[in-house]
Amino acid sequence: MSANRKFGFYMLLAPLVLWLLLLIILPHINLAVLSLQERVGVGQYETSFANYATFIQEPLYLATFARTAIMSILATLLTLLIGFPVAYYIAKMARGRKRSVLFLMCLIPFWVSELVRTFGWMILLRETGVVSSFLQWAGIVSGPVELLYNDAAIMIGLVYTSMLFMVVPLVTTLDSLDDSVIEAGYDLGGKPASILREIVIPHAMPGIVSGCIVVFMLSLGNYLTPIMLGGKDSLWFTELIYSQFIVRFNWELGAAFGFLLLFLSSVIVWAALRLTGQTLEKTMG
């Protein structure tokens, strides 16, 4: 490689390296050091694992993380169950302009901020909202119904917020499945359920795992949706991190919580990859 080509390659690589170094690597190193600092006096610190021990010893912190992880897994599964038929229809059944319109409809909600979308759900689900008014008009309920500030509202918000990140990798993967393979399955006497199980799902598995990883990580690290739709009594791990940093000014414990969230979520993703027999190279390739 000539000197000019080397220089051009390094110049193209420089923005990515700077992005990773300044916005990801250095802040994480700083947080790692901070998480190992224990405050022993005014302006005095010593290095220890006391902040991590606090997480293990406090039942509320463990319960909050477990609840956050379980609800994020459920949100991921619901997103997959809803998103897979949508992606299959777009990739294999819709044609021409109809396909483009359907895909565009999946993108439209993301043209506005997450805050606006969450406020939209609050307007729909509140006591005087559209859903409550419709239920009263239909005679299903006799009075206003408060559908906000519960786990169901949080789940709706998480699924809605993450849907695009499940549909896109699924559409991409399913689009590469040759229609003739599906037709051959029918010609050999296969039923829709068996073709789905034996042909479609195995082919789409990299897209399924990729979408599930992205949706799970987004749900686990979501702050706005659980707080707004779940109310002040909602227990979400990112709220604990925010509270330590902003409310209590305990940056040491907040940094430890942040690293625990990163580590434990990585363990869950690793376990999911092992269970499905997939690799990151396959799912992200």
pLDDT at 166: 93
pLDDT at 254: 92
pLDDT at 94: 84
pLDDT at 285: 57
pLDDT at 216: 93
Q: Report yes or no: 165 and 221 within 8 Å, Cβ to Cβ.
A: no
Q: Report yes or no: 118 and 229 within 8 Å, Cβ to Cβ.
A: yes
Buried/exposed 164-180: b ≥16 CB within 10 Å, e otherwise: bbbbbbbbbbbeebeee
* pLDDT tens track for 63-79: 999 999 999 999 999 99
Q: What is the CATH number of domain 52-284?
A: 1.10.3720.10
Does 81 score more than 90 pLDDT?
yes
Does 124 score more than 80 pLDDT?
yes
Q: Which of 217, 272, 223 is nearest to 243 (CA)?
A: 223
Split at pLDDT 50, 70, 90, the class of 159 is very high
* 210, amino acid identity: S
pLDDT at 114: 83
pLDDT at 155: 93
* pLDDT tens track for 231-257: 777 789 999 999 999 888 888 999 999
pLDDT at 1: 56
Q: Report yes or no: 245 and 253 within 8 Å, Cβ to Cβ.
A: no
* pLDDT tens track for 206-219: 889 889 999 999 99
Percent of the residues in the chain that have a pLDDT greater than 70, as a whole number? 96
The Cα–Cα gap between 152 and 157 comes to 9
The Cα–Cα gap between 115 and 123 comes to 12
What does the DSSP 8-state code read for residue 108? Answer: G
pLDDT at 48: 86
The Cα–Cα gap between 78 and 71 comes to 10
Annotated domain spans of the chain: 52-284
